[in-house]
Amino acid sequence: MSGSKVKHKVGKYELGRTIGEGTFAKVKFAKNMETGEPVAIKILDKEKVLRHKMVEQIRREIATMKLIKHPNVVRLHEVMGSKTRIYIVLEFVTGGELFDKIVNHGRMREEEARRYFQQLINAVDYCHSRGVYHRDLKPENLLLDSCGSLKVSDFGLSALSRQVGDDGLFHTTCGTPNYVAPEVLSDRGYDGATADLWSCGVILFVLLAGYLPFDDPNLLILYKKISASEFTCPPWLSFPARKLITRILDPNPMTRITIAEILEDEWFKKDFKPPEFEEKYEANVDDIDAAFKDSEEHHVMEKREREPVAMNAFELISMSKALNLGNLFDSEEEFKRNTRFTSKYPANEIISKIEEAVKPLGFDIQRKNYKMRLENVKAGRKGNLNIATEVFQVAPSIHMVEVRKAKGDTLEFHKFYKSLSASLKDVVWKSHDDLQGQAPE
């Protein structure tokens, strides 16, 4: 990369690496150049928004989210628009996903699980009271800040295309199958609040058990298990915890426990401390209208320099676990949906070596500068495996390569990376083991 930097600027923000992506949006790390504050920016494609007739829905969701200021919900700062994109500026949360905590450490003690569940219910209750429903609650959408407090991400923004019918119910089957409520699968319409609550119950089960209550590789069998609420609590759960989970995972939404009833539950109330925050909050929503206007006078300034990325210290630290820089150099056992390795090879050679390694594996390759998108032509368990890779410069002669699952099955991604890493033995910088201690066999 010859010491050069890439700078993609949007208004007062400098965009960095991609930290997440979905069907309609991509999320990038960014920095406010005026204050130095780190943020996350969700980028929506205007053409897709228009094609799927999502404009009014998105506008309404964003306006509502700007009015929500809760300590357990990721904050939406502002909205900007260009000729082709909508930029949603969000609070950047540094502690990673709750999902990773479960993967790395397994099930939690009841005291710890209860604390996270209390924060989750508080956030969900607050947003429901303002007419905002998540519809895709799962541990991957629950982030942890630097103090270990839970932050719900994508609240009101994860389901941008889902519409409420004339009957006041949602009619689009959505969300992650294992966490979806039975009524969502029935195609008869569902209430967003009770559906969200079911997902909270699944999350509580996962925190306490360390595995999913409903799981099967066959979707039809999985749906049958969910519809019948066919699950068994592990023997180590206390009776009060078991009772609460059973009342939440009631397949009948009409008799399912409500949030008001959860707040009175004895297991839930233990050591419960409601968050203190200012509920009355005045937010300026003028930027929302400006973001959607076609007039150039309302467009944010976009500036891109077509050169490779050089990562700064804050981005490096934000990518590591518990601010331990040694963890930048992940072992094969630690990664789940993304992983990284370092190399002393020039960036162009790294990209070429990756291309050589993946072609025999049956992947279509799209390359743009120092980024690559790989798509397996053969569909797997959850569709075509889609992988994003990007090369960053971390020092004049050291590069870091991030390999991230963008779509498809995590287990298939795991197998892909094992094959890739075997092919790139000469490319990976060997001395990174010294930084993290002996890597597991």
Mean pLDDT, consecutive 10-residue segments, the chain of 441 residues?
60 86 80 91 84 77 81 90 88 85 88 96 90 83 89 71 41 62 78 90 95 90 92 95 96 94 95 77 66 67 60 57 40 56 85 88 84 82 81 79 84 84 79 39 34
pLDDT at 285: 64
- The pLDDT value given to residue 322: 40
| Residue 284: predicted pLDDT | 64
pLDDT value at residue 238: 96
224 carries a ligand binding annotation: no
- The contacts of residue 348 (CB under 8 Å, 6+ apart) are none
What is the dotted CATH code of the domain comprising 309-436?
A: 3.30.310.80
The gap from C-alpha 400 to its chain's centroid, in whole angstroms, comes to 22
Active site residues: 136
Q: Quick one: pLDDT at residue 318?
A: 55
Give residue 242's pLDDT. Answer: 96
What is the pLDDT, as a whole number, of residue 214? 93
Tell me the fold of 7-92.
Phosphorylase Kinase; domain 1 (3.30.200)
What was the pLDDT predicted at 176?
67
Per-residue pLDDT at 23: 66
Q: How many CB atoms lie within 10 A of CB 140?
A: 18
Cβ within 8 Å of residue 273, ≥6 positions away: none
For domain 98-269, the CATH class is mainly alpha
- What's the confidence (pLDDT) of residue 38? 92
Can you read off the two tokens belonging to residue 17?
Answer: 């690496």
280-288 long-range contacts, CB within 8 A, separation 24+: 281/67, 281/69, 283/66, 283/67, 283/69, 284/66, 285/63, 285/66, 285/67, 287/78, 287/79, 287/80, 288/59, 288/62, 288/63, 288/66, 288/79
Q: Which residues share a beta bridge with 364?
A: 375
Give the pLDDT confidence score for residue 335 in this predicted structure: 44
Question: 3-state secondary structure string, 161-225?
Answer: CCCECCCCCECCCCCCHHHCCHHHHCCCCECHHHHHHHHHHHHHHHHHHCCCCCCCCCHHHHHHH
* Reported pTM: 0.65
Where are the chain's structural domains?
7-92, 98-269, 309-436
Please give the angle made by the CA atoms of 272, 276 and 281, to the nearest 5 degrees: 140
Determine contact, residues 308/12, Cβ cutoff 8 Å: no
